[in-house]
Amino acid sequence: MTAPLGQSKPIVVPVALGARSYDIVIGRELLASLGVRIKTLRPGARVAIVTDETVAAHHLAATETALKAAGIDGARILVPAGEGSKSYATFEKVCEAIIAARVERNDLIVALGGGVIGDLAGFAASCVRRGLDFVQVPTTLLAQVDSSVGGKTGINSRQGKNLIGAFHQPALVIADTALLDTLPKREFRAGYAEVAKYGLLGDAAFFAWLEKNWQDVFAGGSAREHAIAVCCRAKAGIVGRDEHETGERALLNLGHTFGHALEAGCGFSSRLLHGEAVALGIALAFEFSAKKGLIAASDAARASTHLAAVSLPTQVKDVPGGVPPVDVLMDLIAQDKKVRRGSLTFILVRGIGEAFIEKNVDATEVRAFLTDKLK
């Protein structure tokens, strides 16, 4: 299938959360309609756009043009690109800049960027004036399928990632799939790990579709829009049923327990991007499930074959510079998840598309598995 790159009708995915419900609008070249959509959502509102310097260079002018065309007045707040901006210092600057821009209770914050900007601007929106509404305009694949939806916002503590934050749902999400054309290939690929995750955790038919169509998703036609919409529908469904992660929402952490430990073990450096760590973590979660006799070895092989086909890491040896020893990884796993008398919580699988929450994973079993993998 060679998908056309032209404009087609946007796909709308509703997130049903009572009074806090909102739409995710997905389509190519949607950014031009941002002003009109904001005007419809909140007539008379002013906006403050929070973005990073890299995204600003590519997409800020078009964003401001779209707002101006609808007669919307907007301030711009720029922060440096990268995870380092999810800090107290940058958070303070963003909050002060929002107040200085005279953004009031009825106005809107626009988060234009990847997961870093969505988390930072969303958290600032949740705090300034005890809560401002905000619009997510995600510009990475990861942000379009994951971080812009569901209302988790926050910054990093010196003691760990995402430890300071709030649940604050956006009022609207505009996912323009054309914005991903400027994203470096490696970042796109890392975001794709989260796309594959949705198939592997709960939708075997979608995973089979990805196995056939992933090249078209990368190419950017209607297959990309379709894939993003499937992921957003899945996340919207889960968040609608379990907004505050007391149960089912934890399934979205498939691959993340091993993944976070590896990511932290590499010092959150460019050696291993979050999505790359997730791909490797998913491959390990499948292998671990096979080792426990929950799935056939062929299912584990199928998951990692697909991730490897898109050039994502699936083996510990794929990490440039290597990973830390088992003791360090086990400490990181214990920090990441609640440990109760030597038991860990993991997302395991009973098949492709059949993830479940296992609260009683024996830490010694995990240690033995990782020791074997690190040989």
Ligand X SMILES: NC(=O)c1ccc[n+]([C@@H]2O[C@H](COP(=O)([O-])OP(=O)(O)OC[C@H]3O[C@@H](n4cnc5c(N)ncnc54)[C@H](O)[C@@H]3O)[C@@H](O)[C@H]2O)c1
Residues recognised as catalytic: 130, 152, 194, 235, 245, 249, 253, 256, 260, 274
CA angle 68, 73, 74 (to 5 degrees): 100
CB contact set of 244 (below 8 Å; sequence gap of 6+): 167
CB of 85 to ligand X, least distance (A): 8
**DSSP assignment letter at 340:** B
Q: Of 63 and 289, which CB lies nearer to ligand X in the complex structure?
A: 63
Crossing angle of helices 274-291 and 363-373, in 10° steps, is 110
Sign of the dihedral through C-alpha 322, 192, 165, 234: negative
CB contact set of 225 (below 8 Å; sequence gap of 6+): 8, 11, 26, 27, 28, 177
User: Which one-letter amino acid corresponds to residue 260?
Assistant: H
Q: Of 228 and 370, which CB lies nearer to ligand X in the complex structure?
A: 228
> Can you tell me the distance from the alpha carbon of 303 to that of 318, in angstroms, rounded to the nearest whole number?
16
* Residues of the shown chain interacting with ligand X in the complex, contacts defined by CB under 6 A: 52, 54-55, 58, 81-83, 86, 113-117, 119, 139-140, 142-143, 146-147, 150, 152, 161-162, 179-180, 182-183, 187, 274
Q: How far is CA 174 from CA 12, 68, 96, 109, 123, in A?
A: 10, 17, 26, 13, 18
Q: Are 64 and 35 in contact (CB under 8 A)?
A: no
Q: Are 356 and 350 in contact (CB under 8 A)?
A: yes
Q: Of 294 and 347, which CB lies nearer to ligand X in the complex structure?
A: 347
Q: Of 166 and 363, which CB lies nearer to ligand X in the complex structure?
A: 166
Q: Are 66 and 32 in contact (CB under 8 A)?
A: yes
Q: Are 152 and 167 in contact (CB under 8 A)?
A: yes
Q: Of 117 and 210, which CB lies nearer to ligand X in the complex structure?
A: 117
Q: Of 180 and 228, which CB lies nearer to ligand X in the complex structure?
A: 180
Concatenate the DSSP letters of all residues of 238-273 into one string.
Answer: HHHH-TT-SSGGGGGGTTHHHHHHHHHHTTT-TTS-
Which residue number has the CB closest to ligand X? 115
CB of 138 to ligand X, least distance (A): 7
> Can you tell me the distance from the alpha carbon of 192 to that of 203, in angstroms, rounded to the nearest whole number?
15
Three-state SS across 151-186?
CEEEEEECCEEEEEEEECCCCEEEEEHHHHHHCCHH
Q: Are 177 and 227 in contact (CB under 8 A)?
A: no
Q: Of 71 and 82, which CB lies nearer to ligand X in the complex structure?
A: 82
DSSP H helix total and E strand total for the chain: 13, 11
